A = this chain, B = another copy of it.
Amino acid sequence: MTERTIQLGHGGGGRLSRDLIREQVLSRFGEGPLRSLPDAALLPWKAKGLVFSTDSFVVNPLRFPGGSIGHLAVHGTVNDLAVSGARPLWLSLALILEEGLPFAVLAAVLDDVQAAARDCQVGIATGDTKVVGRGQCDGMYICTSGVGEPLSGFALSPRRIQVGDRLLVSGPLGDHGVAIMAAREGIRIGHPPRSDTASVHRLVLAVAQGHAEQVRLMRDPTRGGLAAVLNEWVEDREIGIRVQEQALPFSPGARALAETLGLDLLQVPSEGRMVLMCAPEAAEAICKLWREMPEGRDAAVIGEATAEAGRVVIQTAVGGRRLLDIPQGELLPRIC
């Protein structure tokens, strides 16, 4: 019998990741807040509760067009809290550093952490630093955890999605993933894509004022991209989702590179975007709100919930249909 071992695809955010987490993590810890596979957990805490989230960052290269591992480490955890309906307040910062890492590299990354945390109005509350020998980590890894305060009015759950609900995205999809791949492969094109790494918490705060109750679910489409998020939302449910292909926002650089690299941008991570499902009557209002904000300039209504249980379908411009499956996940190792 061959020994089963961890494969790169287990970290890709697709089917392999999901299966690993189910088999190894949920089987052991799935009775509590982890049960619903959240990117963050809503915990009982005094009157209002507490939202708690964690993420490790192992991106390669450490610095890429549009940002660095330092930006990702803040934005990733802030965004997990935000799309869980919380106001992000405090982060922890754990560093794993490789012997020989230049101080200048560390300092530049920590400058980015500082700038991103200020921008997101979160404090770095506590930290830890470990050093491993040469060849035992690839420069540096960062783990951030975050705590946030639940915003009033949200009752986020896939169970609340109804046929006819509308699907929104806050901006172009996949820029982060293609920017990393281009940097890693040394690909040069005319308008090179830049990572979209950014926080979405202001987009969430804007929605919270007046539209919280109309929102069914929010997520940031990171590993596995939009495909992973939407498939997770409909899995084992009575509803499906139909996405209008021509409504999907993509940046020209990401489009060009995805073609070159043979990537489906719907499976490629963004690190500064959010997806939201809401009651149909709220969709245009939320989209308008977002478009007035720099981080939501290219927001769009891209689809709706259907009665096709468990299926995510892309409706093409010419009237065709294709199934958008959950990615396997081998494509993009160490993307965040």
State the A residues within 8 Å of B (CB).
3-12, 17, 20-21, 24-25, 28-29, 32-34, 38-41, 43, 45-48, 50, 52-58, 89-90, 92-104, 106-107, 110-111, 113-114, 117, 123-133, 135-138, 141, 143, 145, 147, 333-334
Contact = CB atoms under 8 A, between A and B. Distances in A.
Nearest to A146: B145
Contacts of A100: 5-6
Contacts of A56: 94-96, 128, 130, 143
Instruction: Pick from A41, A103, A107, A126 the residue with the most CB of B within 10 Å.
Output: A126
A10 B93 CA distance: 16
A21 B129 contact: yes
Contacts of A58: 96, 130, 132, 136
Given A10-B97, A25-B110, A52 B128 contact: no
A54 B143 contact: yes
Name the prevailing secondary structure of the A interface residues.
mixed
B97 A11 contact: yes
A5 B101 contact: yes
Nearest to A97: B6
Contacts of A107: 24
A133 B39 CA distance: 24
Instruction: Pick from A9, A10, A33 the residue with the most CB of B within 10 Å.
Output: A10
Given A9-B131, A52-B147, A92-B145, 18 more contacts: A8-B99, A8-B133, A11-B132, A21-B129, A24-B106, A25-B129, A32-B123, A41-B90, A41-B125, A43-B90, A43-B125, A53-B92, A56-B128, A58-B136, A132-B137, A136-B137, A136-B138, A147-B147
